[in-house]
Amino acid sequence: MINDRHENIAKVCKALSHPARVLILEYLKGIDTCICGDIVNILPLSQSTVSQHLKQLKEAGLIRGDIEGTKTCYCIDKHVLENFKKTVNGL
């Protein structure tokens, strides 16, 4: 009964089931790329907590993290986001 599509929608929705992660996604949408510290500066959360949120967004495929030296540059995976939008539209 439950198929891969249900699982996939649930997976992405779970990643977006916390307001901080929704905000992070929108923030990334606006600036293309940023590092963890940037988000720590705009949210009242510790560095470790923000890192965890980023990890969850990454595991859901919504964002990517490119390591550059000591920094990690995060950006949206537009393809995954668009695909999610299409799937939600199909609901």
Partner DNA sequence: ATCGTTTATCGTAGATTAACGATTATGAAA
Partner DNA sequence: TTTCATAATCGTTAATCTACGATAAACGAT
Q: Which residues bind a copy of itself (CB under 8 A)?
A: 1-2, 6-7, 9-10, 13-14, 16-23, 25-26, 29, 42-44, 81, 84-85, 88-89, 91
Query: How many Cβ atoms from other residues are within 10 Å of residue 12's Cβ?
Result: 20
Based on CB atoms, which residue is closest to a copy of itself, 48 or 89?
Answer: 89
Site string for DNA, 38-67 (x = CB under 7 A): --x---xxxxxx-xxxxxx--------x--
67 Cβ partners below 8 Å, 6+ apart? Answer: 73
Q: Give min distance, CB of 18 to a copy of itself, in A.
A: 6
Burial state string for 69-87 with b = 16 or more CB within 10 A and e = fewer than 16 = eeebebebbeeebeebeee
